[in-house]
Every structure is written in C-alpha cells, then in structure tokens.
Amino acid sequence: MRAPPSIDEAVSTNLERYFSDLDGSEPSAIYDMVIRAVERPMLAIVMQHANGNQSRASEMLGINRNTLRKKLNQYGLL
C-alpha cells in the first residue's frame, strides 16, 4: 500500500494541475490562493488537536496568540 503524499508533494501536484487547467490563460494571485487553501484547514486541524485552546494552538504553530486569533477570525473559525 502506498503512503499518502507529503504536504509538499500534494501542493506540487495540485499546482501542476492548476497550471494545466489554465490551458494557456494567464495565472494571477497564486501566492494568496495557495496560502488560503493551506492555511484555513491547517488552523482548523491544529485547533481540533489543541482542543480549542488558542494558547496551545499558537505554541503548536509557532505563532503569537494574537496572530492566531486574527487568522481564526479571518477564516471564520472562532
């Protein structure tokens, strides 16, 4: 049985698919698109594993608790 792809493999595969699907159209705002696509589920999963404890989640993420709150608000995860 094959192991699931690593995060970077999954991102690479999906970005290749994105460029292929453009079919010659010019891409734009790729950075923001990828950050949004990765950041929201990452925050949701980390909050689950921290049992909703923002201080613990911020430690797990290696970011300031206020930054975490801002991002949770941004993605409607509070």
Write the CATH number for 45.
Answer: 1.10.10.60
Q: Is 32 among the domain residues?
A: no
Residue 59 is predicted with a pLDDT of 98
The answer to whether 16 and 27 are in contact (CB under 8 A) is: no
Structural domain boundaries enclosing 45: 40-78
Task: State the total domains in the chain.
Answer: 1
Q: Quote the pLDDT of residue 30.
A: 95
Q: Is residue 30 part of a domain?
A: no
Q: pTM of the predicted model, to two decimals?
A: 0.81
Question: Residue 63 domain-assigned?
Answer: yes
pLDDT digits (tens, 9 = 90+) for 12-64: 999 999 999 998 899 999 999 999 999 999 999 999 999 999 999 999 999 99
Residue 50 near residue 60, CB atoms below 8 Å: yes
Residue 26 belongs to some domain of the structure: no
Distance CA 65, CA 34 (A): 23
